[in-house]
């Protein structure tokens, strides 16, 4: 029985971008379906937008950061990632809203920071950042 040798070659950035975009879409669909469950709407229709694909795909550009921060205390890393995601959410939200294309609007939420950021999403972004850190390592991105 021969074992397949593990490939430590990093995935090309474009391919990683595609994987991160797809992973982000899946996470968002699951999240929005769970939000329906909290409202007792049992259709569990998860939704996303095509505009979200490149936004989630940009997590691929964080892989050098994941390598640098990997030895830091987990709560510190998760907080850093959440703050970076808030920044990306703010910038992409501003860009898309200028063209009336923004797929989210938090103006009705009391825990919002402008129309683009919900502070109560901090734990979600904390976990998503840690997910992407692990996701990139688990898929052959060890040698960044």
pLDDT digits (tens, 9 = 90+) for 89-141: 999 999 999 999 989 989 999 999 999 999 999 999 999 999 999 998 866 54
pTM for this prediction: 0.86
Per-residue pLDDT reduced to its tens digit, 35-93: 999 899 999 999 999 999 999 999 999 999 999 998 999 999 999 999 999 999 999 99
Q: How far apart are CA 137 and CA 144, in angstroms?
A: 9
CA diameter of the chain: 60
Note whether 135 and 20 are within 8 A (CB).
yes
For the stretch 104-110, contacts whose Cβ atoms lie closer than 8 Å and that sit 24 or more positions apart, written own/partner, are: none
Q: Which helix (H) or strand (E) element contains residue 110? A: none
CB 132 within 8 A of CB 81: yes
Helix axes 122-138, 13-38, angle to 10 degrees: 140
The predicted structure's pLDDT at residue 139: 60
Per-domain boundaries in the chain: 13-138
Q: Of 99, 86, 11, 100, nearest to 55 (Cα)?
A: 86
């Amino acid at each position: 029985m021969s074992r397949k040798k593990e490939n430590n070659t990093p995935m090309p950035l474009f391919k990683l971008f595609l994987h991160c975009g797809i992973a982000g879409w899946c996470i968002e669909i699951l999240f929005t379906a769970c939000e329906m469950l909290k409202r007792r709407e049992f259709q569990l229709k998860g939704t996303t937008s095509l505009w979200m694909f490149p936004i989630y795909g940009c997590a691929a550009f964080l892989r050098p950061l994941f390598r640098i921060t990997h030895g830091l205390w987990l709560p510190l890393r998760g907080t850093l990632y959440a703050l970076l995601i808030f920044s990306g959410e703010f910038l992409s939200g501003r860009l898309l809203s200028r063209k009336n294309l923004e797929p989210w609007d938090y103006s009705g939420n009391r825990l919002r920071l402008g129309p683009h950021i919900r502070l109560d999403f901090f734990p979600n972004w904390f976990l998503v950042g840690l997910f992407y850190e692990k996701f990139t390592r688990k898929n052959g991105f060890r040698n960044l």
